Amino acid sequence: MESISRGLEDVNIKWTRLTTIDGEKGILWYAGYRIEDIINAKAKAEEIQYLFLYGNLPNRSQLDDFEKKVQQGYKIPDYSIKAITALPRTSDAVALQMNAMATFAATEKFAWNKATDRDTAARIIGQMASVTAVAIRHAMGKEPRLLEPSSSLAESFLKAVFDRSPNEKEIEAMNDALILYLDHEVPASTTAGLVVVSTLSDMYSGIVGALAALKGPLHGGAEEAAAMQFQEIGDPSKVDSWFQENIKSGKKRLMGFGHRVYKTYDPRAKIFKRLAQELNLKGAPKTLYEIAERLEELGIKELGAKGIYPNTDFYSGIVYMGLGFPLQNNIYTALFALSRVTGWMAHFIEYVEEQHRLIRPRAVYVGPSERPFVPLDKR
Ligand code: SDX
């Protein structure tokens, strides 16, 4: 049979100047900058969003302009809010994001244009932030609240979701989460969105397609699945027996472990682990952190030889829980999407503007050879 690359493993579908990964060494570069250097430099998420859309880091006035464009997206129309609040409060938060972004696909007059694509993308970041805040508040039983301009997207977002002002450490953790999940080359969600925009469908529809793929437990959904595994274990004293019964037996996969590209520790996981430690977790998040630490030890001992290590989703859920986001309704995956929407749009723009080609693979036919059609009354 002609060869099929299952799961498109090791197939290149585009070139990119955005992100590249060394899976063997566990290195992640954003446009040539190592992720550790970006985080250690205390970069603002908006600087890295600008980098992805314009190809270089902004100076002060470029950053100010960009932040204003993002803030213009905060005020979303009532029909986009209703696309969320009309659904039950138990709805999946990523599906709520899909619903709301589809209202823009339905109403915005979008056309691909080098002169405006980046400004549109900046506004969409703001729209996505308010959509996500409304979706999370809906799940938490609260009335909609949109973002208001402040010193940063991270601060505005936390203020919109929670009824209290975030402290500096919380703003820093939210800011860094927005950077850490911003892009990762062409995972399933980016690829899904690229297929959509390769037909010259609009940017919003590309985002809806990407959200649909991210929702799954093997991709973005793993953040929530990993935290739920920690919650299922419940107590650090139960980790070893749980591990024996579920992972060593092969009955379950250790969520937040393993990666198609990284065959060593995901550099983002190391940073999320540090962020979790620095949040001075108390109560449930602290217990889950202690469970996660022990699970990490057992997981690496058992699975490390197969190149299966913690990935970005292993500790991120604990950081989100430490920030006050409840572990429910796929909210953690919705937070992943809030960050990744910039990476999706940067890849869409790079593809449509510079290397556009309709994505249309083939399938190897293994069905019956030609045969005469038998009418119904003769069957
Ligand atoms: C993200 O692609 C990206 O860049 C994604 C992402 C991003 O930023 O966009 O990095 C974000 O999605 C991270 C991954 C989150 N997913 C999970 O944590 C879910 C658990 N992980 C696995 O399901 C798995 O590791 C995948 C899906 C992530 C990758 O799997 P592959 O490359 O398709 O490998 P596979 O499923 O074929 O597994 C190969 C072997 C199998 O064993 P054998 O059948 O060969 O004996 O490894 C085993 C698997 O059983 N394995 C695991 C495991 N992951 C793989 N065994 C136990 N626990 C795991 N987590």
Q: Give the domain ranges of the chain.
A: 14-215+335-354, 222-323
Cα atoms in the Cβ-side hemisphere of radius 13 Å centred on 353: 18
CATH topology match: 14-215+335-354 vs 222-323? no
Q: Can you give the pLDDT at residue 17?
A: 98
CB neighbourhood size of 183 (10 A): 26
The Cα–Cα gap between 153 and 187 comes to 25
184 belongs to the catalytic site: no
Name the residue type at position 224. Answer: E
Q: For residues 136 and 60, what is the distance between their CA atoms, to the nearest angstrom?
A: 32
| Distances in whole angstroms, Cα of residue 299 to Cα of each of 122, 124, 248 | 40, 39, 9
Give the pLDDT score at 235.
96
Q: Which fold has domain 14-215+335-354?
A: Citrate Synthase; domain 1 (1.10.580)
Structure tokens of 156? 């505005």
Task: Specify the residue with its C-alpha closest to ligand 1, atom 40.
Answer: 306
Ligand 1 binding pocket, CB closer than 6 Å: 7, 184, 187, 218-219, 222, 253-261, 303, 306, 308, 311-313
Could you give the CA distance from residue 280 to residue 276 in angstroms, rounded to a whole number? Answer: 8
Measured by CA distance, the residue closest to atom 21 of ligand 1 is: 258
What spacing in Å lies between the alpha carbon of 179 and ligand 1's midpoint? Answer: 23
Is residue 91 classed exposed, middle or buried when 0-12, 13-18 and 19+ CB atoms within 10 A define those classes? middle
Q: In angstroms, rounded to a whole number, what is the distance separating the alpha carbons of residues 157 and 177? A: 12
How much distance in Å is there from the Cα of 82 to the middle of ligand 1?
36
Q: What is the pLDDT of residue 163?
A: 87
- The answer to whether the beta carbons of residues 317 and 100 sit under 8 Å apart is no
User: Is 163 labeled as catalytic in the residue annotation?
Assistant: no
Q: Are strands 19-22 and 33-34 parallel, antiparallel or unpaired?
A: unpaired
Q: Decide if 321 contacts 284 (C-beta within 8 A).
A: yes
Residue partners of 351: CB distance under 8 A and separation at least 6: 14, 194, 197, 198
Catalytic, 219? Answer yes
pTM for the whole thing? 0.96
Residue-by-residue pLDDT tens, the chain, 379 positions: 688 999 999 999 999 999 999 999 999 999 999 999 999 999 999 999 999 999 999 999 999 999 999 999 999 999 999 999 999 999 999 999 999 999 999 999 999 999 999 999 999 999 999 999 999 999 999 999 999 999 999 999 999 999 889 999 999 999 999 999 999 999 999 999 999 999 999 999 999 999 999 999 999 999 999 999 999 999 999 999 999 999 999 999 999 999 999 999 999 999 999 999 999 899 999 999 999 999 999 999 999 999 999 999 999 999 999 999 999 999 999 999 999 999 999 999 999 999 999 999 999 999 999 999 999 999 9
CATH number at 222-323: 1.10.230.10
Looking at residue 304, its amino acid is: G
